[in-house]
Amino acid sequence: MSRKWLIISVIVTLGIATDQVSKWCIQNFISLPYPLIRGFFELRLRHNPGSAFGIKILSTPQLLVITVVVTAVFLLFFALDKAGNPKNQRLFIWGASFYISGAWGNLIDRLRLGYVVDFFYTPFWATFNLADVLIVLGMGLILLGFLYRGKDEEAEDSGL
C-alpha cells in the first residue's frame, strides 16, 4: 500500500470512528444541555431526520447513492493522481478524506438509527456534529486546492 493510500485510510477511519464515538458519548454520558460558552455554544442532543439543516431534501437511499458515488469519484481521483502538484495533492487528499469520513459518519447514523445525531448547538446556526465539521472542512480544503491549482496554471501560462 502506498503512503497516499495509507494516509487516506487512516484519516477516513479515524474520522468515522471519532464521529461515531462522539455521538455515542453525547447520548450516553453527558447531561444535556451542557454549556461550553454560555449563551453562545453548548451541547444539546438533537435527532435530525433531515438531510441538510433538518430539512428532508433527500431520502436515505438517495443519500446512500450520492455518498457512494462521491466516494468513488474521490477514490478515482486518488488512483489517477488527478490532484495536480504536491501541494494540491495534499490539500485534496486531506480534504476528500475529511469529506468522505463525515459523509459516511452521518450515513451510518441514518442507516442505523433513521436519523443523524447532532449535538453542537449555537443560537445563530443549525445544530451540527463532528461529521458535519469534517464535511465542511473537507470541502474547504478541496476548494483551496483548486484555487492554488488555478494560480499555478496562471503562473505557468504567464511564463512565471
Q: What angle do CA 92, 93, 99 make, to 5 degrees?
A: 85
Residue 109 is a catalytic residue = no
d(CA 91, CA 148): 10
Which residue of the set 81, 109, 132, 157 is catalytic?
132
- Catalytic entry in 19, 81, 109, 118: 118
Sign of the C-alpha dihedral computed for residues 104, 108, 111 and 113 taken in this order: negative
Beta strands in the chain (DSSP E): 34-37, 41-48, 116-122, 125-128
Q: Cβ of 50: how many Cβ atoms within 10 Å? A: 14
Q: Which of the residues are catalytic?
A: 118, 132
